Amino acid sequence: MRFNAKDLALLARQPSGWFDKEGKLKICRVVGDEKLIEPRERWCRLKGNLLFLMKNKSSEASEVLILERCWVVEFRNKTDVSIVLKFQSGEPDLYLEAASKPDCESWAVALGEANSEGLRNKIQQLRRLIMEIKEERSADEASQFLPSSQLDSLGEPQFTSIRRIANEPKLEFSLACKDLAAATRDRKLNTFIQVSVVHPAEHVLTRYSSTEIVEGTRDPLFLTGVTFPPEYPIYEETKIKLTVYDVKDKSQDTVRTNVLPDHKEPRADVGRSFLGCTTFRVGDLIKSKEQQLTLTLRASDGGKTVGTIEVNLVKMGELEDGETDHITTDAQDQKFLCFLPLKSCSRGFLCATCVHNTENLERMTDRQAKEECALVRECTATESISGKDNLPSLNAVLKNPICKLYRFPTSDNKWMRIREQMAETTLSFHVPKELINLHIKEDMRRNQELKDLGELAPHWDNMRKSVIAHCDQMLSMYQDTLAELGKHTGSSFKSSCSKGEKTLEFIPINLHLQRMHVHSPRLKDALYDVITVGAPAAHFQGFKNGGLRKLLSKFEAERRNTGYQCIYYSPENTAKAKEVLSNINHLQPLISSHADLLLNSASQHSPDSLKNSLKMLSEKTELFVHAFKDQLVRSALLALYTARPGCVLKKPAAPRNSAEEGSDLQHQDHPSQIKRQDSIPHHSEYDEEEWDRVWANVGKSLNCVIAMVDRLLEKDNVGNVKEGENDPSAADCKVLHTGGDWYEQLYPLVITLKDCMGEVVTRAKQSMAFVLLQELACGLPQCLMLTLRRDIVFSQALAGLVCGFIIKLHTGLHDQGFLQQLHTVGLLVQYEGLLSTYSEEAGMLEDMAVGISDLQKVMFKVIEAKSEDFLPLITGRREHYVIEVQLPAKMFELLPQEIKEGKLLRMYPVLFNVGINEQQTLAERFGDTTLQENINQENLELLKEYYKLFTEKMPPDCLPHFQEQNDLKGLLENLHQNIQARKRKNVEIMWLAATICRKLNGVRFTCCKSAKDRTSMSVTLEQCSILRDEHQLHKDFFIRALDCMRREGCRIENVLKNVKCRKYAFNMIQLMAFPKYYRPPEGTYGKADT
């Protein structure tokens, strides 16, 4: 080789900044494994493909190496700091030793990229990046300058639409590669495919999705497919570009899928290299004879072939061998296997699809069919609901769906297909707003009742003024919060980054429906739902002093020991006072209305109408009278009497006193308490029997009305009047004649009834308001702050519950066993908690436990929708709520008569928590896990009560999927043993509880702090476990399926939605503390804001 020595010497003497890299290295020649001489220190300078070797920095170059037709061998030993340059010419290898491992690695990279081949790779990479930048810029410009309506409709008239089953995804296909070419012979490929879409009108390339990474093969078969939802603008003329990449470092290749309009993801080209790409038309795939395309992959210059790629059209209703499930809607008296997968549509999420597999049904008896998978429903053809009927009610609840497609091998070497779906819910904001509005009305009513107490002695009056002032401040806060929520537009979920925002504290965190629809070759299609939501907790208020469980206990203990300025009433009696007030507000207008209807029937002289009106009036009046039987009202009236101004107080009564009698305390072991209650004495001038007389007058007045109606009807039937000589009711009536007009004879009796009821209402309202005054006065301002915190936590919990109930109701509409269970027993709601019992998360767990327990006071009622608004309605008060779920007429007709008549449906919420992170490790070794143990034990008892109730009220074979009783008994006993074992991070508790919930037809919830990271690990593990246990997933593919769902599934999309980064918020140290199956795959975790 000819060269100019002077020019090379000049190059070697250039300033330091001119070189690509320079520094000290120890160098020697190597033949085989033997060094020819001991390594000598040299100053090395690299420029382009020239490596200058110098004795020191200022000396002349003693040797120049041209780095062509050579490669770098880097030793992987963590302690080794040497590399070797090997030459194709057969010359001795060059041994280079650096001062440190980082220096060694940087030299290896620099030398590896120094030759002309490395330069060509750089040029190709830069060309590819320029092309992608141009493509993305074009997409941005199109979005910027075209109105959204124009973008949505662009090209629709002139392009051919894809014909698919209604409400199914427009297009789904799977991918596989063959004979991929690697850069070097010994290189094992780790490949994935990036999918991009070219719209035929815009000619803009948009990244859409990608597959998982398949390692160590040149013939990868990808488990992750591609799915386009019904609303996606894709046509037969649309082109799909498939780009294959080889991943060198998975830890750097975590951001690969589509670019969202409001967020551009950082590039990840550092950890991957381009292999090849190809393009096809959607129409070619659909019209292909075998619905399969085999395409050639070509390098970036379009010349060299680097392999082939197979594209297979996927239909969820088809079997792998080509046999198809027959879909029909007109067969009579045949059984259908009804599944209700949520499918995205232009307005949100949809609807029921009935799939009829004739072969399976012919092979199974009815008994066998009932023993199949838990979530498969049965109905007859006449009962089926079309997608159009079911669409509006679900669209009112769910929106912004995300769908992923997989294919996994079964143990008998068949393929199952899985569609994973995730959707937000509009209930995240609807339910809290409805709830806050109810709180405002309830608090305004309470404040008015306190003002209506009348004149009080100075001590009590000052107390009332202070309470009302604090209550008005709290009321103003609720009103401001409602106003702020009314301004909210955009997303229907609250991201994990917003959990500390005050204006959103009533909104549940990251509430989503997670759904898995499984199509197996020899099993029924099955559907599995889990509601994922952040733990209901008051994040803005913080957890410095713990959560609700601790705060409520501490507050109650302090309230018992407050000074003598107020009267202590137990929480049970305070709740009773609120119930009495609620009954008054509910029953008084009803009784008044029925009394007016009675008079109207009398004026029309209608016997049948008169009977019906009297029946309704009697029922409501009896309920009204029964509401005041409690001793609390009488004792509260006495306490209120003594609080009036100018009341002459005698000496204090001994053991028998108003507060003790009224609140039924049974706390005589607290001397301070008895002393405080003695400050409210028993007044000798107070007539305790007066209330009994006032209260009894209502019943007597009703008896007079009943007696008069009986006489009028008897006269009408017989023609003469026969007054009973020994009629006890008649003796109390003032009007004894029965002649003349019916209305004139009933009117004075009805007025008397209303007057008596009005007097009872006035006294009872004042006495119960006085009880509430004591509750508030004894704990200001802590009482109101705790009420606020409890309202916040309950609001978050209720939004998730309403979502879960509605989805479960739609899924089970054709399951008569489930519907019977719903109105006979109630619905089991099982929460899986992943919070630790250390630091702030212990407070979150305390909040969550109280919030979920409070859901027991929620009842559901299903009503027929009277308009196009299908959002649920909420009525009631803090101690008792009724959620009215609206269904379209055709769906409402499918319900049992009991539910259609308005029977209230009970909820049975249970919570099982197992901390799994590094904080739980600290709690187990240095802290306290008693909170978790107590919660699990308490909820185990609740679960056993529900199971006992279920076995008592339901026939053994009522549910199609209900297993033998011994199975559930065994699971419950196993759960009991695991809870008692107190084993560290015993995740089997959660697995058992989830299995029991599914077998009992319950609703599943999974919660962690933000429902993002730990929840994703748990949900994906549950899905893969179901595929393994229920659908014969091949055991060798369990881990790969798990990694596939975590890397490319809906949960990584959930992470992106929350933190704008496709990484789970874990680090390596944290994951060392996690149970084995709760660790994400490499490259999917790292530093990310939570």
Which residues carry out catalysis?
1008
Q: Which helix (H) or strand (E) holds 595?
A: helix 571-603
CB atoms within 10 A of CB 78: 7
Written as six digits, the tokens of 1059 are 């933190």
Distance CA 522, CA 240 (A): 33
CA–CA separation, 1073 vs 1078, rounded Å?
10
Structure tokens at 426: 């509009």
| Among 180, 318, 162, residue whose Cα is nearest residue 240 | 162
Strands 82-87 and 93-97: antiparallel
- Nearest alpha-carbon partner for 234 in 187, 301, 173, 144: 173
- Token couple for 503: 């204006």
Among the residues of 855-964, which ranges form H helices? 889-892, 897-900, 918-926, 930-953
Neighbouring CB atoms inside 10 A of 577's CB total 26
Rounded Cα gap, residues 163 and 65, in angstroms: 64
Dist. CA 182–CA 188, nearest whole Å: 8
The secondary structure of 139-155 as a DSSP string is HHHHHHHS-HHHHHHTT
d(CA 907, CA 626): 26
Q: What are 930-933's contacts with CB under 8 Å, separation 24+?
A: 930/837, 931/549, 931/837, 931/842, 931/845, 931/846, 932/837, 932/845, 933/979, 933/982
How far apart CA 658 and CA 680 sit, in angstroms, is 7
Question: Cβ atoms within 10 A of the Cβ of 399, count?
Answer: 18
Cα–Cα dist 48/688, whole Å: 106
Nearest alpha carbon to residue 1006 among 616, 339, 531, 540: 531
One DSSP character per residue, 61-76 reads EEEEEE--SEEEEE--
Strand partners, 874: 883
Q: Quick one: which of 144, 418, 454, 128 has its CA closest to 273?
A: 128
Sign of the CA dihedral running 205, 206, 209, 215: positive
Helix (H, G, I), strand (E, B) or coil at 647: coil
Alpha helices in 491-570 (DSSP H): 548-560
